[in-house]
Amino acid sequence: MVIDRVNGRIPIILGVGGNNTRAVVETLKNDDFTGVDAILSVVPYYNKPSQEGIYQHYKAIAEATELPIVLYNVPGRTGVNMTAETTLRIARDFNNVIAIKEASGNITQMDDIIKNKPDNFDVISGDDGITFPLITLGAVGVISVIGNAFPREFSRMTRLALHGDFANALTIHHRFTELFNLLFVDGNPAGVKSMLNAMGMIENKLRLPLVPTRITTFEAIRKVLNELNIKC
């Protein structure tokens, strides 16, 4: 449905990941990826592999497909951090690994990757709140949460920063800093769904084990939206 709706207007990145390397490889080898431009593959979660295990996991994935691969490092969800050294090793060894969505929250680690990466490898912010400073260091964009609610505003901030207009980009960044925090008080995607509900766009329903934000969080989001003169 998404591929048909997009109809080639923008690239489509499909999430294909897990903590069972063989299962991910079989999916990549056997499923139909027509219309998919790249895959996003998360660091294996729960079983906490070593750095060598992470490398071997991505080696198997890279060798199983010709599609471009975007790595996804999010230790807050997976329980293990992929170090800059491992990221750079993967980036140098496999030409179809083209980028990383970095959500470790460790600016020093991200800067290390940006500084030492191959030319054909990009760093993408995986955290709205540090997208602006990360772009000033050399990141190329963001895979955003708040962008689901404010695609025009947040993409404009990103474009301004990429074009070196840091003053105007910073103004937009500061406009949303309180919302960045509120979106994660009760977890993601509960926060952004609560915000979209406050804006009258969707019902505030989630699949268990996720549940809607607490009423205090919801009201705090509504308060900020009102202060920003956003109808809710």
Q: Which residues are catalytic?
A: 72, 101
Tokens of 141: 């964009």
Q: Are 131 and 143 contacting, i.e. CB atoms less than 8 angstroms apart?
A: no
Q: Are 72 and 103 contacting, i.e. CB atoms less than 8 angstroms apart?
A: yes
Alpha helices in the chain (DSSP H): 2-6, 21-30, 51-64, 75-78, 84-93, 107-116, 131-137, 151-162, 166-175, 177-182, 190-198, 215-227
Q: Are 50 and 78 contacting, i.e. CB atoms less than 8 angstroms apart?
A: no
In whole angstroms, give the CA distance from residue 73 to residue 51.
12
